[in-house]
Structure 1
Amino acid sequence: MHLTLSVRDGEFCGRVQFEDVVYKIKTKAKGSINAKQSERAILKGISGAVLPGEMLAMLGPSGSGKTTLLTTLGGRIRRVGNNLDGSITYNGRPFSNSLKRNMGFVTQDDVLYPHLTVTETLVYTALLRLPSTLSRQTKVEQADAVIAQLGLAACRNSIIGGPLVRGISGGERKRVSIGQEVLINPSLLLLDEPTSGLDSTIAGRIVSTLWDLTKGGKTVVMTIHQPSSRLFYMFHKVLLLSDGNPIYYGKASDAMDYFARIGYAPTVAMNPADFLLDLANVTVMLAGISTDDAREDRASTKEALVSAYRNHLHGQVSEELSGISKQLKEYEPDKMATEWCTTWCEQFKVLLQRDLKERKHESFSGLKIAQVLLVALLAGFLWLHSGGHVQDQVGLLFFVVGFWSFYPVFQAIFTFPLERTMLTKERSSGMYRLSSYFAARMVADLPMELILPIIFVTITYWMGSLKPVAASFFTNLAVLLLSVLVAQGLGLALGALVMDLKAATTLASVLMLSFMLAGGYFVQNIPPFIAWIKYISLSYYAFKLQISSQYSPSDTYQCTPVMRCQVADFPSIKLVGFDHQGMALAALFLMLFLYRLVAYLGLMRVGVTG
């Protein structure tokens, strides 16, 4: 079955031109703190063009710059100062945000949700990336067509899997990644090492699928490390890079003849791709001289290859680019749609469904449920006979507040650092707005983050002999759930701002311990210069409201065998007091909003905005 997708209105034609592309990075000498930064050129004046119906393969050893060039062509490296020079156009136009939604980009690493099935992965992608003019049923049919086209029917109901979850094979995972991009029917498809780590049979099947796409007028550009000879001759064009320099650009079938003409021919019959890679590495026997016998031979050979390219091929490339430019002047490009493929509400709905399906395995894992239940039962048995003992009950209230301050923070810290790669991948392709992703994530977390605290409180409240009144129980529960959401927001903010798990968890530990120590239970006489910490402590406000759910200023307790005292005078209760309850509630709601706002701004700073 062959994939048949309708061309969308405004789709750009896949003519890609790049001329004298130079990319530099800043470097600093190792072991020297005060060393001045210098520039290192990763790409050194690379030119070429790919037309509809052509497949360009970029070859070269590791570190030659092929992935950097592919990323640049995909619009994922932006100009900052003079780091990027040269011209890159798509059908005569520069890169734009609307353009990226019409091109496909497959990264070397397969970034997929492990607990979704193959069908779910592709259907969710179709719902997000295909235009709103198509019905849901049509989008599902498009996903089914891609599954059939890429030979994934046998594993369509299997989960993707990951390092800790058994799922589909590496070759099937790679085809799912390609399928996510093929779904949008892109005019231009870029792939970074699509055959990496796969056996020759699976690699051949993937390249054959890509070659079939070019027969439909698509433009395919890929990096590939060491293809077989059969795959090599499937490429229409080859770009060979060595240390950022182009040493060959042209038809794959002409590559061996070109190098033979300039004096470099293999002494034995061999795979053309292997020979080209050996040339780029300068490690083969050339004209009877071993070029790796001495560093001077290597340098001179590399310079000879670069000079030969400039003398024999650079002019041809310039003529090809000039001819394409003249054709484009006669071609009036279609107006490209600048709006998103789907509405904000549609994005929110699909992302919410996907999050709920993916995250339920993590949030309701047996380990987490067992952890919460064991702590709840342990606390319940420890405070089983605490009724009437104010000291014990106040301690239980503060323990519950403390546990459900730490636990959500350290769960939420992992959210955005672990999803950063996925978020960057999907946002780089213009799949959805950052705001719709963030809103869906917040809503999806609500049932998963609140069910376990409800179970915890239900156990500890009644086993701990707290006030057996429905109003008190539900007030206690509501305050705890609010503090859980605040703590979760703090964890999200720290994770989004720092994006480094070790640093974020260290910072969270310091903050939460500071908040807890200033929460009004451990220290009664806090020095004035540091007492302000309690006003930013969620533990302080939550503890204050929890006390109010159990006691009133008129309540008394047995302070001595013959005397009853006012609860309001009990040291821990006196410190937090019964006044300003409205302010405490308002402070928690303010934190609930501010922490999430900080998390959102952190994602805008770190990730792709739009």
Structure 2
Amino acid sequence: METDDNLNTISSNGSSTKVSETSGSSGEYAYEISDFALKTWKTNSDEGDPTGQVPEDNQIALSWCHINVYGSRISANHSTNVLSAITRNETKEKSHILKDVSGSAKAGEFLVIMGSSGAGKTTLLNCLTFRNLKGLEISGLVCMNNVPTTQAQLAANSAYVQQDDLFIGYLTVKEQLLFQSLVRMDAEYTMEERKQRVEEVMIELALKKCENCQIGVPGIVKGISGGERKRLALAGEFLTNPSILFCDEPTTGLDSFMSLNVVQLLKDISRTGRTVISTIHQPSSELFLLFDKLCLMAQGRTAFLGTTTEAETFFTKLSAPCPLNFNPADHYIQILSIIPGCEENCKRSIKSICDAFESSSLGIQIRKSAKKIVKDAEKIDEPWIHKEGLLNPYRVGWLPQFWALLWRSWLSVIKNPAATKRRFVLVFIETLIITIIYFGQKLNQSGIVNLDGVFFYLLVSTSYQNVFGVVNTLCGEIPLFVKEHKDGMYRTDVYYLTKVITVIPVSVFLACLNTTMCYYAVGLNPEVDRYLTAVCLTILVCLCGQGLGFIISTVSPSFELAPPIVSIVVSPLLMLGGIFLNFRSIPGYLQWLSDLSWFKFAFEAYMINQWSNVAHIECHQNSSANSICLTNGIDVLHKQFISLGEFWPAISALIFLALMFRVVGFFILLFRVSNDE
């Protein structure tokens, strides 16, 4: 079949051998393309080879029965095995997004879902993968080998390549794939086998030349190209050779050759006995020839589901055949699209096409199969759960997940020296300002007030630095975590624990630097044990600030909203910390909030550490006859209503808050993930 521009030729089985380019002035030039360039997926039948043919027992056919989706403000209620309908009396009209959609994809088939914007193709893919269904009312069944499946079971047997490429941008291509091999390949594989598989996938997807390049952060760190990012996303999924592969717009951002390369790859994957389901936007005629089956969606209904040959026959019978030398994909999308100004006529035409398919032999067979599956599911009363239990989606255990995530998290820290440098410069400047302003304080009445100011600015700078340090690191990673967690790569507690651990070293070092630079310069208590205690207190403040940062990162719906939330949360804690507000004057109804303020306990501990052993303070009453002279450190503490016995309770409170904030952040993240699922 000829291509869109009548220049390239491709055989009917999808294996292109020669591409010729014709020039009107220079004659014809032929370029030979190696088999390796297009045949990018190896099929090796040797037992144990990750790229081998899927055994018949492991091949999975996916089917979906009577899927109905309504747009609603009510959250979707997902049971463990079906997409359950929500029966609620609603006064507002609901949008019927998918309308009784059924179909199937057999093992060894490459099924492509197509449709114009708003046709429902992405919603259907989301239903098949149990993803991004929040806010929708859904009914129907999703089945593997005609047995209703759970999200965990599906995740354990499938892979999903989403349209948006999410990565830790500071890792290299090889490090990214090596990490995924550690958490996605089964536990019995050795480290050498994992590395070998990574090398194979990089070669197959033409990533070898950029294996040591950073992936990059758009707008921040220059990295690999958009096409290479897409291939990297595909490579991560191919490591485990899943029985089912879902792809959402895999050719987005790729040039025509790489699009052909990727789709050829998907085709070859299906030939190994895997089920491949993908949405593709406006495929070229070369790509269209590679499709085994085609699912056309229009107005939330199935307009066609069958082979490309059957599609040609179906639309020919409807007096809408594809013209010669015209891309069939473009033709089908055009006749199933809503044209502005002709909305009603287009809707009637689409309805007639969908009705015609339902009454066709293909449509009748699909409805019969769906009816039989639903009837069998009602009879057996969910025996698959009793037989198989709740399938563990994780391929490796807790400890391998922990070490892999800890390695990746630490790499993201040490490979981002610019962020550490910025924090260091910020700490240095803030501490330098404190030192210059309060340099050389003496133990007199003015020095008492000034040293209170030192403690205040030390608390504020350390707290905000660490709150924002965690927010800037974690908040942007939450979408990546959600995606990888849904893919069954690692547990929530493993991810959270590694993030808690990796943010500590740099922050603790900066906290020590912060205190050390200004401690003796401003004239704080010169005893060594008092200095070490002050350093430990600053570290505890640092840990408390980090803990609150974890809570805000898990609560914030987006990275842009996190800074305002920081200001809203930290300001009351600061005001109720007792630095500029007497503890006894705090209203009873706000006492609980004061008890959550690490500023309060840290200020108490700083004051006790500074003044408890000061026996003499200079007193000059020349300035005011009414001034109160504080002659020793105990007087200073009594003026602030602080007793010596509050030191260790304050230390205990700081430790408790640092731990509690982290635990609360974990449960919020756990709830957020479970709610999304």
Partner of 1:210: 266
Aligned partners of 2:530, 2:206: CA distance in 1, in Å?
A: 60
Q: Tell me which residue corresponds to 1:453.
A: 511
2:191 matched residue in structure 1 = 136
Kept in 1, the 8 Å contact 2:295–2:306? The answer is yes
State the SS of the aligned residue for 1:69: helix
What's the offset of the Cα at 1:407?
Answer: 2.2
* 1:570 partner SS: helix
* Matching residue of 1:367: 422
Shift of 1:248: 1.1
Shift of 1:561: 6.5
2:637–2:643 CA contact under 8 A, matched in 1: no
- Corresponding residue for residue 565 of structure 1: 631
Superposed displacement of residue 446, structure 1: 1.0
Aligned partner of 1:413 in structure 2 is 471
Instruction: Name 1:441's counterpart in structure 2.
Output: 499
What does the per-residue CA deviation read over 1:20-50, in whole Å, with 9 as the maximum and x for residues that have no partner? Answer: 221222169xxxxxx9433222111222211
Counterpart in the other structure of 1:538: 598
Structure 1 residue 412 displacement after superposition: 2.4
Which one of 93, 117, 126 corresponds to residue 38 of structure 1?
93
Residue number in structure 2 paired with 1:277: 333
The letter for the 2-side match of 1:5 is: P
Closer, same or farther: CA 528–196 of 1 in aligned 2, 3 Å: closer
SS of 1:63's equivalent in the other structure is: coil
- SS at structure 2 position matched to 1:514: helix
Q: Which residue of 2 aligns with 1:121?
A: 176
Cα distance, 1:27–1:432 mapped onto 2, change above 3 Å: closer
Check 1:20–1:504 CA distance in 2 against 1; reply closer, same or farther (3 A cut).
same
Structure 1 counterpart of 2:667: 601
Q: In structure 1, which of residues 289, 292, 299 is the aligned counterpart of residue 347 of structure 2?
A: 299
Indicate conservation of the 8 Å contact 1:92/1:325, yes or no. no
Alpha-carbon distance between aligned partners in 2 of 1:344 and 1:44, rounded to the nearest angstrom: 42
Distance 1:598 1:126, change over 3 A: same
Return the offset for 1:77: 5.7
- The Cα of 1:433 is off from its aligned counterpart by 0.9
Which residue does the alignment assign to 1:345?
Answer: 399
Q: Deviations over 1:95-136 (max 9, x none)?
A: 231431221100010111111111100110010111211112
RMSD after superposition = 3.1
- Amino-acid identity (%): 26
CA distance in 1, matches of 2:365, 2:602: 73
Q: Does the CA-based 8 Å contact 1:126-1:143 persist in structure 2?
A: yes
CA distance in 1, matches of 2:567, 2:451: 26
Q: Does the CA-based 8 Å contact 2:515-2:535 persist in structure 1?
A: yes
1:587 aligned partner: 653
The secondary structure found in structure 1 opposite 2:265 is: helix
Higher alpha-carbon deviation: 519-528 or 482-491: 519-528
- Paired amino acid for 2:237: E
Q: Distance in 2 between matches of 1:516 and 1:159?
A: 40
Between 1:592-601 and 1:492-501, the stretch displaced more is: 492-501
CA contact (8 A) 1:363 1:448 kept: no
Deviation, structure 1 residue 367:
2.3
Q: Is the 8 A contact 1:27 1:40 kept in 2?
A: no
Is 1:107 matched with 2:162?
Answer: yes
| 1:153 paired residue among 198, 205, 208 | 208
* Match in the other structure for 1:511: 569
| Partner in structure 1 of residue 28 of structure 2 | none
Pair 421,453 (structure 1): closer, same or farther in 2 beyond 3 Å? same
Which residue matches 2:293?
A: 237
What amino acid does structure 2 have at the position aligned with 1:278? Q
**Contact 2:551 2:665 survives alignment (8 Å):** yes
Query: Is residue 376–residue 460 contact of structure 1 (8 Å, CA) maintained in 2?
Result: yes
Match of 1:550 in 2: 610
Q: Quick one: distance in 2 between partners of 1:573 and 1:198?
A: 70
* TM-score between the two structures when normalised by the length of structure 2: 0.81
Q: What corresponds to 1:286 in structure 2? A: none
Q: 2-side partners of 1:10 and 1:53: how far apart? A: 10
Q: Distance in 1 between matches of 2:92 and 2:476?
A: 31
Q: Which deviates more from structure 2 when the two are superposed, residues 388-397 or residues 155-164?
A: 388-397
CA contact (8 A) 1:64 1:241 kept: yes
* Residue identity opposite 2:124 in structure 1: L
1:309 matched to which residue of 2?
357
* Displacement after TM superposition at 1:518 (Å): 2.7
Q: Which runs of 5+ in 1 are unaligned?
A: 29-34, 284-291
Structure 1 residue 589: Cα displacement: 1.6
1:74 aligns with 2:129: yes
Offset, 1:475: 0.5
Which letter maps to 1:21? Answer: I
1:359 to partner: Cα distance? 2.9
Q: 1: distance between equivalents of 2:440 and 2:613? A: 24
Superposition TM-score, scaled by structure 1 size:
0.90
Contact 2:115–2:333 (CA under 8 A) maintained in structure 1: yes
Match of 2:305 among 246, 249, 267: 249
Asked whether the 8 Å contact 1:56–1:222 carries over to 2, the reply is: yes
- Is the CA contact (8 Å cut-off) linking 2:611 and 2:636 kept in structure 1? no
1:17 aligns with 2:75: no
Q: Which moved more, 1:195-204 or 1:111-120?
A: 195-204
1:180-221 Cα deviation digits (max 9, x unpaired): 111111010000000112221111111111111112111110
Alignment partner, residue 51 of structure 1: 106
- Counterpart of 1:162 in structure 2 is 217
- In the TM superposition, what is the alpha-carbon distance from 1:19 to its structure 2 partner? 2.2
Q: What letter matches 1:315 in structure 2?
A: I
Q: What's the offset of the Cα at 1:323?
A: 10
What secondary structure, in the 3-state scheme, does the structure 2 residue paired with 1:281 have?
coil
SS at match of 2:251: coil
Displacement of 1:545 in angstroms is 0.9
State the distance in 2 between where 1:564 and 1:161 align.
59
| CA distance in 2 between partners of 1:335 and 1:521 (Å) | 60
- Cα distance in 1, alignment partners of residues 266 and 161 from structure 2: 12
C-alpha displacement at 1:569, in angstroms? 2.1
The answer to whether the 8 A contact 1:552-1:578 is kept is yes
Q: Deviations over 1:504-539 (max 9, x none)?
A: 433432332222223333234863525725333210
Check 1:426–1:608 CA distance in 2 against 1; reply closer, same or farther (3 A cut).
farther
Cα distance in 2 for residues equivalent to 1:14 and 1:399: 62
The amino acid across from 1:18 in the alignment is: W
| Distance in 1 separating the partners of 2:486 and 2:405 | 16
Secondary structure of 1:221's aligned partner: strand
Aligned partner of 2:250 in structure 1 is 194
Corresponding residue for residue 318 of structure 2: 262
Cα separation, 1, equivalents of 2:499 and 2:563: 21
Report the Cα offset of residue 268 of structure 1: 6.3
Aligned to 2:552: 494
Q: Deviations over 1:365-384 (max 9, x none)?
A: 33222111111112112222
Q: Where does residue 412 of structure 2 map in the other structure?
A: 358
CA distance in 2, matches of 1:279, 1:468: 84
- Shift of residue 463 of structure 1? 2.0
Residue 229 of structure 2 is matched in structure 1 by 173
Moved more, 113-122 or 516-525: 516-525
Q: In the aligned structure 2, how far is the partner of 1:234 from the partner of 1:10? A: 23
Task: Name the counterpart of 1:5.
Answer: 50
Instruction: Say which SS state the counterpart of residue 645 (structure 2) adopts.
Output: coil
Amino acid of the structure 1 residue aligned with 2:650: A
Q: Which deviates further from its counterpart, 570-579 or 406-415?
A: 570-579
Alpha-carbon distance in 2 for matches of 1:346, 1:596: 23
C-alpha distance after superposition, 1:122-169 (max 9, x if no partner): 110010111211112211221121111211111111111121211111
Distance across 1 between alignment mates of 2:587 and 2:372 = 75
In terms of mean alpha carbon deviation, does 510-519 or 431-440 score higher? 510-519
Structure 2 equivalent of residue 182 of structure 1: 238
Determine the C-alpha separation between the residues in 2 that align with 1:372 and 1:590: 26
| Number of residues of Structure 1 aligned to a counterpart in Structure 2 | 593
Mapped to 1, the partners of 2:502 and 2:103 lie a distance apart of 46
Task: Give deviations 1:318-356, integer Å, cap 9, x for gaps.
Answer: 466689999x9xxxx997993432111111111011001
Amino acid at match of 1:317: I
